[in-house]
Amino acid sequence: MKTLKLKNLPKKLTQYNTVHLISHTDLDGVGPSIVLKAYGIAHEADFVETRKVDEAVLAKLDVLADNELLIITDLSVSKEVADVITKVNKEPNARFVILIDHHASALYLNEYAWASEIPSLDDIKMSATTLLFKYLVEANYQVNPRTFAEDEVEPNYTADQLAIFFDRLAHFVENVRLYDTWDWHALKIQEAADLNTIFYARRRHSFILDRFNYILTGKLFTDEDEAYLHFSKDELRKVLKKKEKQMVVVKNHTLKGHDAPLNIGVIETDSFVSELGNHLAEKFEEEIDCVFIVSIVKNRVSLRSVGKDVNLSEIAKNYNGGGHPNASGCDLSELGIGFLTAILNAPKVIKK
């Protein structure tokens, strides 16, 4: 497994004419953009779903100009696209691409010098936001918050201000890591879960701006955020109670990527996906091996489990998805008609 190597990140980010960012659409995908803003690194960001990353990267490579950098975070590309990137990086025109990710299902990318696929470091589970932050710290970049608005005056921060900004940024980065790895649940750090709740409740641009302002002001949640969190926690309790009664169990179902048949709890929803999946996996641990949260509208399945008996990233990888051992995802259609039929015929879970 790769360790953190600065050679994988060009040290002179500010010397590129343009820095492009392609990242995932979740909290950990947006985190790198906030980190770059906090370091005063201008960039153009595109956020894409996992299944569209190859298409997005190839499209960007088609228009990537000389002396431009593309950073890919919290996403993995196929081997075919990886080979294209390798060719681009060998061209003597200062175009360059790097990838920083943390999904165990994409460790094959560590074959490439320009990719850093690091699920954990010093026994701590990583996030893409954390890895980018660590790279910049170890390369001795200085925090220098910039909005890059046309009317922005060049900031002139004191050393004490910069130290405070760095601590706030580190706090934000750790919250992202805690949520994305689900360490927040084991450590009972509710603030990290609240941050994710607000991320999905706000428009992406507003969320990024408010978290950037937190680095300057120290206020992680706005007054509007606080009001929504109070409402959301009441809603979550209602959803958990309701969905417990709706979950069905697909028994002894065989999936590629796991040797033995599984008992799979299945529920359909588009809200509170991670919270619901982990709640059900824990509460019904004796009855089921994992939980599949189905979104018919999005044609997506989120896979959740507890413990180490089932590696969901291996299962998801076999259905053109990916993720972590206890939290992964893939397209619903990839699971096939047999799985859909099994859901329709499955009994509801025994109520507790």
Pick the residue with more confidence: 271 or 284?
Answer: 284
The answer to whether residue 168 scores a pLDDT higher than 60 is: yes
The answer to whether residue 51 scores a pLDDT higher than 90 is: no
For residues 257 and 318, the answer to whether their CB atoms sit within 8 Å is: yes
Q: Which long-range contacts (CB under 8 A, 24 or more apart) does 3-8 make?
A: 3/118, 3/121, 4/116, 4/118, 4/121, 4/131, 4/134, 4/135, 4/138, 5/116, 6/135, 6/138, 6/139, 7/113, 8/98, 8/100, 8/113, 8/114, 8/115, 8/116, 8/135
Residue 263: closest CA among 240, 292, 243 = 292
The reported pLDDT for the residue numbered 233 is: 84
For residues 128 and 100, the answer to whether their CB atoms sit within 8 Å is: yes
Helix axes 27-38, 190-201, angle to 10 degrees: 90
The reported pLDDT for the residue numbered 4 is: 53
Q: 84-128 pLDDT, tens per residue?
A: 999 999 988 889 999 999 998 899 999 998 999 999 999 999 999
Average pLDDT over residues 259-273: 91
Residue 130: phi and psi, rounded to 5, are -65, -45
Q: Give the span between the Cα atoms of 48 and 77, in whole angstroms.
A: 12
Provide the strand spans (E) within the chain.
18-23, 44-47, 68-73, 96-101, 115-117, 120-121, 124-125, 248-253, 262-268, 290-295, 300-304, 322-323, 327-331
The reported pLDDT for the residue numbered 351 is: 56
The answer to whether residue 337 scores a pLDDT higher than 80 is: yes
Q: Give the span between the Cα atoms of 286 and 325, in whole angstroms.
A: 19
The answer to whether residue 153 scores a pLDDT higher than 80 is: no
Pick the residue with more confidence: 202 or 12?
Answer: 202
The reported pLDDT for the residue numbered 6 is: 44
Average pLDDT over residues 301-312: 91
The answer to whether residue 352 scores a pLDDT higher than 60 is: no
Residue 344: closest CA among 249, 263, 262 = 249
Q: Structure pTM?
A: 0.82
